[in-house]
Structure formats: C-alpha cells, structure tokens
Structure 1
Amino acid sequence: MKRLIEKGLMFGNLIRVDSPAWVSLYNRALQKITGRQTALAEFHIDISGHSPEIGDEFGDMDYLAPEGGNRHFILLTTEQKSAPMLNADLSVLRDVLRGFITQNESQLFSLTARDAVLGEIDDRIWQLAEPADLPQIRRLSVTADTTGGHVAEADRLAAMIDRFRSRPDGWWDDVLIAQMIEQARKSGDVTRNPVRLAHTEFDVADFWAADFGGVYLIRSAREPAMIFADPARKAEVQGFLAMSVGDRHQIAAWLARNALAEPVISARGADAAPILRQKIDFILADAAVRLGLDTGDGGRAALRRAAARMGTDLPPEIRGLSALHRYAEQGGDWPVIDSADPAYFYAIRATPGPARDLVNRLLAELAPHDLRLLFMTHKPLFYRLYQTWPDAKRDYVAEMLAREYAIDKQGTREALFGPEPGMSDTDPAPRRQAAGPWGPARVSLSEAGLPRPAGPWGAAR
C-alpha cells in the first residue's frame, strides 16, 4: 500500500491533527465513545474523525464502529466535510455525514470553536442477522453534541424560555427565572445565538452494504433488486429481485429493463474511442503481468508488443472492445455484442439518476480489469485485490492512477460518467422478457439503448 499512499491514492485528503489543543479535544471525545485515549501527538482523521494511525495503535481499524453498534463520529472542524471516509461498511455514510455537516455548518462551526462534536449515525436496525434485514434500512438519523453537552444544555434553556413565554404568570415565577439565569451561564444566550442542529434525517433508497459478503440494494428502480457479491450468500427477499454477480444475463436484462445502464459508445457527451482504448490498455497490462511478459514503460506501444506475444492467452474481453473501438473511430458495421460476451459490462456505464453511482460500482465488480473504474467507484474491493497483485502490476496501476486520475479527479469523473445526475430521471426502457424456458435471455448493446446504425438511406427509424 506504500505506493498508493506516496502518490496520494490512499489516505489522501485527510485532516491533519497536530496541535495539542486538537489532540486534547479528540481524546475527550474518544474517551466518551470508546473509553480509551490515544498517546499519539500527531495523526490524521477522515470525515468521521476516524484515524488510520489510531486504528493501528489500538489494533482495531473499526474503533469508531463497535461490532453490532452504530457508526460514531468526531468532528474537530467543519473542514472534515471534504475528507474521504475510511472503512465505510455502508456506501451512503459519507454522503449522509457530508450532508449533515454542510446543512448545519454555521452551528457546527460555532460548536467546534470551543469543543469537539461527537455523535452517531443510527440506521434504526438493532441487528442485521440475515439479508432480509437490509431493506429495513430506509432512513439514517444523525445525533450529535459536544463533549460538554452544549447542544443538550441549549435545548434545556430553550425549553425553559418556551415555558416562560407561554405562561401568563411567567414574570412572577422567581424559581423559573433563577433556573433560566443559571442555565444561561452554561449554554449562553440561545435567543441570539441558537444552538440547534437541524437536518438530521436522511432518506436512503439505494446503497451497498459490506454485510453478507457485499450486497447492492437498489430500491429506486422500477424493479427493486438485491445483488450479492458472494453467490453462496444469495437469498430471496420479498419485494426484491435477488441476483448474484455471476448472473450476468439476468443482471444485463434487469439493467436494460429499468434503463439503469447505457452503452459508452452512444452515451451523451462521452468521447467513446479514448475511453474504450484505455479499457483495452488496462486489460492488456493485467494479462501481461499475469503471463510474465515485459511491458517496458507501460506505454501503449509496449502493451501492443506484449499483446502480440500472448497468442491464445489474449484476454477474451479484447476482441469485443477492439471491435467497438474500431466502430467508434472508423464506423462500419455495428459489432454484435451481447451479455454472453466478456466485453459486455466493460462497454456500458450507468445512466443519470439516483442509482447512478451505485450502478457504476456494480459494473466495476462485473468488469474488474477496468482498474480505474474499480478504484473510483469501489475502493474496498480495489484495496482488497491490490494486496494480491504482484509488484509489477502494483507499480503500473499506481503510476497510471496518479497520472490519469489523481491530477484531475472531477474532469475524469465527468468524462467517464457524464455530468452529475439531475432531479429528473430518464424514462424507463420498455420491459423485456428476462428469462425463458432455456434460461436467462441474453441482452445486446443495442437492446441496452444503442440506436441501430445508419443504412444506405440514412439513419434507421
């Protein structure tokens, strides 16, 4: 992992905690959550306040998420909103915490100026004993307060003020007035400087969960589905179409029926030829390292020379992607590629909509040799696979990601995935029969949304 850390591809954008005051505030919050404190004088934290250095010190990389409990967080500054989230076992946790900080920024800025803010993200599920429990996660609730209880103290004073104002004889209640004065010494003037955190409830429609070997739950589609990364953990859940990542034809048909994916070559605003060319490079580099072939500097010319020496070991995805690449650059006959072709899931991307990022994450698992997509959308899987690769492949991948992604992350995301999804979803495609008496139906790229190529009398209607 050292290569990734040095190039800013792992533990990048973390917040540095190196002042004695911040370390002291962090330890006060850590003591309340875990009953422990760190001896480190300097460390880094993510958006939730999790520190990889402290995790290594404690021998527990999930020290802010106790087993069977909710995810806790520690805020020292509102600048944590721009940091990544490490060890997230639910894909939406970072978005929820970022939304909480952004929508309560002025209040949190005031609170963190004098104390650390600690809290938890509650999924309102007591226990995830089986996959059927996952659909119960519909809303995440965020609760937070300072280590000194400033929010709770402010709430008490606000309640006293409401009672004072609502009672006709409030001015003659000396006891209540004395209590308000004493409480104001603890919480300050909440009428001029209110300390009340709003926007603490967040609806969750689609998410990936690390439980049960990894599960994609997509509820916003016309046909809700749960897709299991581990086929052995696949389970039927009422109201959801159950699939595993090995059910390629079934997944392809479901994506097409629900208009969740589109061919890269016909996607609006996508420069298809360079995208397909780079996917081919990634696959060739992976195969060359696996076969022990010299890739030189890892450039395109060196990869072509290595491909020429592969013979029958040439990856099966190359044929379909090369045909699409030629079509994108030169035109001609449209290559027929269906869901049985190894290149199929490399050649599509998610359509705009609420499930876009999650569908791209699923496609990365279905097309694992697209290393850039895997790194951008599914870091837990990328890091797990990275540890199993030989050094030559690690060098190539780290260099490639640093050169072609880290320099312009936002531009790369827009080039690959298109602009951020708007409020309106695309119209769903007409339903097709997903399976027949001989098994799941295959789906071609044209059925996934590509118009038929032009004939001698112009474009087909």
Structure 2
Amino acid sequence: MMRLVKKGLMFGNLIEVSSPALVERYNRALKHLIDRETALTGFHIDMSGYSPEIGDEFEDQLYLNPKGCNQMFILLTTDQMKAPLLNSQFSTSRSILRQYIEENEDQLFALTAREAVAGELMNSVFHISSPSDLLHINQIEIEADTIQEHVAEAHQLSEQIDQFMTEDDAWWDDVLIAQMIELAKRTGNIQRNPVTLDNKTYVQGNYYTSHFGGVYIFRDAETPTVIARERVEGLDDLSIEQILTFDDREAIADFLRDEDLSELIVQAPNQSTAAIIKQKLDFITITIAAEQGHDLSGLSRQNIRHLERRFVEDLPEEFHGLMDVWRWASMGGRPPKMRPNHPAFFYCLRSSQHKDRDLVNMLLSDLSRLDFRQLFICHKALFYDAYRSWSESKKDYVSDFLAQEYAMDKVGAREALFGDEPAMEEPEPEPKPKTEFTNPWGKAKVKDGLYKVKPHNKKEDDFRELYKDYRKKNYRKSKKGKRD
C-alpha cells in the first residue's frame, strides 16, 4: 500500500498533528470521548480526527466510530473539512460532516483556537445487528462542544444575562452576579463575540453502507429499493417495496432506468465517448495480462494492443461486449444489442445528473470492478481491498497510471467520465404552450394556429436501439408516467 501512500493516492490531504499543544488537546478530546490517550508525539488525522497511526497503536481502526454506527469526531482546525474521511461506514457521513463544518466555520475557528471541539454524528440506533436497523436511520444529529464546554457555558451565561436584565430583583442577587463573572472569565464577552454551535439535524436519505457486505439504500426513490451485494440473513424481512441483490441484474437495470438514475455513456457515435470505452477495454486487458503473469513495467498505450492479440483467448465477455460498443461509438454502423445480464452491460452506464449521482456511480463501479480507475474514483474502500490481492506488476502500473493520468487533473477527468457536476439550483421551468397533445412521434405544439410535430431525435433513436431490451424501441410509459 506504500506505493499509493507515496503517490498521494491513499491517506492524501491528511492534517499533520505534531506540535505538543495540539497533541495535548487531541488527547484531552480522546480521553473525553473514549477514555483513552495516545502515546504518539506526532500523527495525521482525517476530517473526523481519526488517525491511521493511532488506529494501529490501539489495534482498533474504528476507535472513533464504535461498531461502525455513530461517528465521533475531534476538530483541531477547520482545515480538516478539506481532508478525506477514512473508514466511514456510511457514504453520507463525509458530506454531512463537511456541511456542518462549513456552516459553523467562524464559530469553530474561534473555538479551536483555544481548545479541541469534540462531537458525534448520532444515528437513531446505537447498534446495527440486522439489516432492518438500516431503515431506522432516518436522521443524523450532530452535537459538539469543546472539552471545557465553552459552548454550553456560553449558553448558560446568555440565559443568566437575560435573567439579570429582565428580573427586577436580579441586581441584588450576589450569587447570580458571581456566577456570571466566573463564566465570563472562561467564555469571554459573548455579546460581542457570540459562542454558539446549534445542534444540527440532517436527513439520511439514499446512502451506501458497508454493513452486511455492502448495501445500497434508495428509500427516497419512487419505488423504494434496497440493493445488496449478497442475500444475507434478515434482508428479506425489510419493510421496503423492492429488495434486490447483485444477482438481480435485470431488475437493477430496470430500477436505474425507471427512476432516471442512469444513462448510457455512448448514446450515439462519438469520438469522446468512444475514448472512454477504449480505456475501459485497456483496463480489462491489463487485468487479464497481470493475471497471466505478464510483466507490465514500461507498458505504453501502443503496447496494450499487442497484449490484446496475445491474450485474446483469455479476454472475458466484458471485453468482447465493450469492443462491440467501441466499434459502434468510433466507426458507426449498426448499434450492438446488449441485455443487462451481459457482463459488460453496467460498464456502459453512468449516473445521470441528480443529487445522488455519486451514490449511483458508486453502485455502477461495484458492478464493473475491472475498471480500476472508476473503482478508485467512486469506491475507494473497494479499490483498496482489490489492490491488496493484485500482483506487484499490476500494483506498479495502476498506481503510476492513477498518479499521472488522474491525480494531475481530477476535475477534468471526472467531468470527462461522468459529465458536468449537477447544478445546485433547480432550473427554471419552461412555459407550457396553451394547447398541446401527445402522439407517437412527440409533442405537437400550437404555433400560429397550426400544430407542429416535434421531429425525431436521432440521439434518442440510437439510445433505444443500443439496448433494445433495456430501453424499448417505441415510446412507452414508465412507472413515473413519463416517456422513456
């Protein structure tokens, strides 16, 4: 794993903690949260304050996330919001914690200047023993304060000030005045510099969890669905409309289509999308060559074609299916037909633009693991698990490729692979025509008193033709009542 660490592909952007003052603050927070302290004089922490070095020291990589259920955190600086979140058991934890830090950045900056802030992402359950517990996690509440309880004391002082200003006899209450003076010594002038950290609640909607072998939960979908890697005990007892496993490929494809969660990478012949498919072909070729013991050192893109010829009999169905798609995308001709049960099918999809785009791309990377680049971008924990079993030659090649081809321009690579980031604001609705009717060829709009039929969309025709069994050739109603 040291290759990844040295190239910044693992444990990158962690915050270094080396000064005695910060180490002491961290230990006070650690003692407060889990009643333990570290003997290390220097270490690195992620967004939550978790340190891989301390995890090794304690022989517990979940020392800030007991039972993988309620994530605790230690903030020494607001710069932690730029760090990754390691060993998270829920896909939403990073975005929730980052949002909390951003919303309270000014207050946290002032508080961490004198003491560590400790808190917890509290689920509505304290232990996850069966899949049904996952559906009980509806909200995440964050409570945080300094170890010396500056926020709580500031709140107490604020209440005492209100009492002092509103009650007639408060001027003669020596005990109240003495308490206010003592609190003010620790909190400072809260009227000039307010110290507040409001408890914040975040909705836990669609998410992925590593519990029970990996489960994707889409309960905000029109058809609430759970997709698990394997059928574990208790999965069938979930009170949700649809329960699927990775063996239900056709049903997963239908769900992604009907909920408008996915789209084809290649919707019509295009050199840009053909290049994406070609790289997926290269990744599969490299994987097979490595499994056959081929030395990948010094491998260039030109040499990969020689590997395709050499190992053509060993290349899997994923390769041959993607090759048909690549030929059509780059050269035109008749679109290939591919059903969801084909091993290459999910390699041809990516998430459409919506708020759960990262979650859907995570699911798709899980279903197309030979694409190691997409696996690294969308599902790092799964990538690291796979990486440990690779040959040394493949580890060298993949780490070099990711460092040179991806890490140098992460934003550009993600836009090329997954499209532009979804807009944060809802688009303005287009005005509807006064009169319209629907026919098999599209919507006819009234213009100058005449009906004008919307022409065929060649791109949509190719889209339907490419996956004839996935998206029907003729217009039809989906579960949402919209045309596919």
In the alignment, what sits opposite 1:327? 328
Alpha-carbon shift at residue 235 of structure 1 (Å): 2.6
Q: Indicate if the aligned counterparts of 1:295 and 1:303 stay in contact, CA closer than 8 A.
A: no
In the alignment, what sits opposite 2:75? 75
How far apart are the structure 2 equivalents of 1:309 and 1:141? 56
Cα deviation, 1:182-203, whole Å, max 9, x if unaligned, reads 2212221111111111362111
TM-score, length of structure 1 as denominator length: 0.89
Q: Number of paired residues?
A: 438
After TM superposition, the structure 1 = structure 2 runs for residues 6-17 of structure 1, keeping only pairs within 5 Å, are 6-17=6-17
After TM superposition, the structure 1 = structure 2 runs for residues 62-141 of structure 1, keeping only pairs within 5 Å, are 62-67=62-67, 70-141=70-141
Alpha-carbon shift at residue 89 of structure 1 (Å): 0.7
After TM superposition, the structure 1 = structure 2 runs for residues 237-386 of structure 1, keeping only pairs within 5 Å, are 237-266=238-267, 271-295=272-296, 297-386=298-387
- Supply the AA of the counterpart residue of 1:327: W
Q: Indicate if the aligned counterparts of 2:69 and 2:123 stay in contact, CA closer than 8 A.
A: no
How far apart are the structure 2 equivalents of 1:166 and 1:26? 40
In the alignment, what sits opposite 2:35? 35
How far apart are the structure 1 equivalents of 2:296 and 2:189? 68
Cα deviation, 1:393-437, whole Å, max 9, x if unaligned, reads 111111111111111112211211122223449x9xxxxxxxxxx
Summarize the Cα distance change of 1:229–1:188 in structure 2 as closer, same or farther, 3 Å threshold.
Answer: same
Counterpart of 1:235 in 2: which secondary structure? helix
Stretch deviating more after TM superposition (5-14 or 221-230): 221-230
Alpha-carbon shift at residue 124 of structure 1 (Å): 1.7
Counterpart of 1:279 in 2: which secondary structure? helix
How far apart are the structure 1 equivalents of 2:367 and 2:109? 42
Q: Indicate if the aligned counterparts of 1:45 and 1:52 stay in contact, CA closer than 8 A.
A: yes
After TM superposition, the structure 1 = structure 2 runs for residues 376-455 of structure 1, keeping only pairs within 5 Å, are 376-422=377-423, 423-424=425-426, 445=467
Are 2:28 and 1:51 equivalent residues in the alignment?
Answer: no
- Supply the AA of the counterpart residue of 2:467: L
How far apart are the structure 2 equivalents of 1:100 and 1:296? 45
Q: Indicate if the aligned counterparts of 1:111 and 1:146 stay in contact, CA closer than 8 A.
A: yes
In the alignment, what sits opposite 1:455? none
How far apart are the structure 1 equivalents of 2:60 and 2:298? 39
Which aligned segments of 4 or more residues in structure 1 are displaced greater than 4 angstroms? 446-452
- Supply the AA of the counterpart residue of 2:379: H
RMSD of aligned alpha carbons: 2.5
Summarize the Cα distance change of 1:265–1:451 in structure 2 as closer, same or farther, 3 Å threshold.
Answer: farther
In the alignment, what sits opposite 2:157? 157
How far apart are the structure 2 equivalents of 1:280 and 1:290? 16
In the alignment, what sits opposite 2:432? none
Greater relative contact order (CA < 8 Å, ≥ 6 in sequence): 1
- Supply the AA of the counterpart residue of 1:445: Y
| Same amino acid, percent of matched pairs | 45
How far apart are the structure 2 equivalents of 1:226 and 1:170? 59
Alpha-carbon shift at residue 67 of structure 1 (Å): 2.9
In the alignment, what sits opposite 1:438? none
How far apart are the structure 1 equivalents of 2:145 and 2:297? 56
Q: Indicate if the aligned counterparts of 1:293 and 1:306 stay in contact, CA closer than 8 A.
A: no
Q: Indicate if the aligned counterparts of 1:139 and 1:203 stay in contact, CA closer than 8 A.
A: yes
Counterpart of 1:67 in 2: which secondary structure? helix
Alpha-carbon shift at residue 303 of structure 1 (Å): 1.6
Alpha-carbon shift at residue 158 of structure 1 (Å): 1.3
How far apart are the structure 2 equivalents of 1:348 and 1:332? 20
Summarize the Cα distance change of 1:175–1:211 in structure 2 as closer, same or farther, 3 Å threshold.
Answer: same
Stretch deviating more after TM superposition (65-74 or 134-143): 65-74
How far apart are the structure 2 equivalents of 1:91 and 1:162? 42
How far apart are the structure 2 equivalents of 1:377 and 1:123? 24
How far apart are the structure 2 equivalents of 1:257 and 1:276? 24
How far apart are the structure 1 equivalents of 2:67 and 2:176? 44
How far apart are the structure 1 equivalents of 2:188 and 2:338? 68
How far apart are the structure 2 equivalents of 1:327 and 1:209? 37
Stretch deviating more after TM superposition (102-111 or 163-172): 163-172
Q: Indicate if the aligned counterparts of 2:296 and 2:393 stay in contact, CA closer than 8 A.
A: no
Summarize the Cα distance change of 1:449–1:172 in structure 2 as closer, same or farther, 3 Å threshold.
Answer: farther
Cα deviation, 1:281-301, whole Å, max 9, x if unaligned, reads 111100111122354523222
Alpha-carbon shift at residue 121 of structure 1 (Å): 0.8
How far apart are the structure 2 equivalents of 1:137 and 1:412? 34
Counterpart of 1:266 in 2: which secondary structure? coil
Counterpart of 1:317 in 2: which secondary structure? helix
Q: Indicate if the aligned counterparts of 1:70 and 1:120 stay in contact, CA closer than 8 A.
A: yes
How far apart are the structure 1 equivalents of 2:38 and 2:209? 29
Counterpart of 2:260 in 1: which secondary structure? coil
How far apart are the structure 2 equivalents of 1:294 and 1:386? 17
- Supply the AA of the counterpart residue of 1:257: D
Name structure 1 gaps, 5 residues minimum: 428-442, 453-460
How far apart are the structure 1 equivalents of 2:69 and 2:163? 36
How far apart are the structure 2 equivalents of 1:230 and 1:381? 15
In the alignment, what sits opposite 2:184? 184
How far apart are the structure 1 equivalents of 2:68 and 2:297? 49
Alpha-carbon shift at residue 13 of structure 1 (Å): 0.5
- Supply the AA of the counterpart residue of 1:408: D
Counterpart of 2:62 in 1: which secondary structure? coil
Counterpart of 1:148 in 2: which secondary structure? coil
Cα deviation, 1:235-261, whole Å, max 9, x if unaligned, reads 342123111112111111111111111
How far apart are the structure 1 equivalents of 2:70 and 2:19? 29
Stretch deviating more after TM superposition (119-128 or 226-235): 226-235
Cα deviation, 1:129-180, whole Å, max 9, x if unaligned, reads 2111111111111111111111111111112123334434444444333322
How far apart are the structure 1 equivalents of 2:341 and 2:68? 40
